[in-house]
């Protein structure tokens, strides 16, 4: 069982907060964009020739963050399971946004997968599956953030870097971590061995 029913959780949030950072369950736009900066650190300097898949893309805010910096990927592909978010992301980004369940449906190939916040309401087992599936669909790597702490919350998924290290030990990847940008959050880069 998930910690929350994802579709209901995010539909309710969107109804109350609209197409804002709070609508996708961030404390503020500042914290959302601080996490985006941490994700961006681990991606190649030049994205212009790459396909970037945004797993749990929400309203497409990561694409908008990149676009505002003149940092568009060659091809951006958003993926989300909540239909109103998918519809909003299509309108807000004018990019390809797929409605699919990352835990259960086939994933498109991309050089890099990224994920900001979409695993925060999953169980630990779902988180392991999500990480492995996104990594396997990437040709270069998967960069994502998680809430940091012992798994004690009834609503949110808290993990520690050593949990992720243990879960991904069998993958052909080197792991890098950043935890210097926001209290209670960390970013992981799983880069395929041999990838730039």
Instruction: Return the structure tokens found at 192.
Output: 């395929």
Measured CA to CA, the distance from residue 144 to residue 159 in angstroms comes to 13
Nearest to 42 by CA among 170, 145, 126, 143: 143
Do residues 160 and 124 make contact, with C-beta atoms less than 8 angstroms apart? no
Q: Where are the alpha helices (DSSP H) in 60-185?
A: 61-68, 83-93, 124-137, 161-167
Answer whether residue 19 shows pLDDT above 60.
Answer: no
CA distances from residue 150 to 7, 96, 121, 164, 171 in whole angstroms, order as listed: 25, 36, 14, 13, 24
More reliable by pLDDT, 172 or 10:
172
Q: What is the pTM of this model?
A: 0.86
104 CB contacts (<8 Å, ≥6 apart)? Answer: none
- Superfamily for domain range 6-12+28-146+157-176: Vaccinia Virus protein VP39 (3.40.50.150)
What residues does each domain of the chain span?
A: 6-12+28-146+157-176
Answer whether residue 27 shows pLDDT above 70.
Answer: no
Confidence of residue 49 (pLDDT cuts 50, 70, 90): very high
Torsion angle, alpha carbons of 147, 68, 107, 178, to 10 = -30
Q: What is the pLDDT of residues 120-168, one digit of tens each?
A: 989 999 999 999 999 999 999 999 999 998 876 567 889 999 999 999 9
Please tell me the predicted confidence (pLDDT) of residue 1.
Answer: 43
């Amino acid at each position: 069982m998930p910690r929350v029913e994802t579709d209901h959780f995010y539909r309710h949030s969107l109804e109350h907060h609209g197409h804002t950072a709070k609508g996708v369950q961030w404390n503020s736009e500042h914290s959302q964009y601080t996490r985006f900066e941490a994700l961006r650190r681990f991606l190649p300097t030049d994205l212009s020739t790459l396909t970037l898949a945004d797993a749990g893309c929400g309203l497409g805010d990561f694409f908008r963050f990149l676009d505002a910096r003149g940092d568009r990927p060659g091809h951006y592909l958003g993926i989300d399971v909540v239909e109103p978010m998918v519809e909003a992301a299509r309108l807000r980004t004018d990019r390809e946004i797929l409605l699919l369940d990352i835990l259960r449906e086939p994933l498109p190939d991309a050089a890099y997968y990224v994920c900001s916040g979409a695993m925060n309401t999953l169980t630990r087992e779902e988180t392991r599956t999500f990480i492995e599936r996104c990594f396997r669909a990437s040709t270069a790597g998967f960069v994502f953030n998680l809430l940091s702490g012992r798994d004690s919350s009834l609503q949110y998924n808290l993990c520690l870097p050593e949990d992720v290290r243990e879960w991904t030990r069998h993958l052909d990847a080197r792991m890098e971590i950043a935890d210097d940008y926001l209290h209670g959050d960390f970013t992981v880069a799983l880069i395929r061995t041999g990838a730039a």
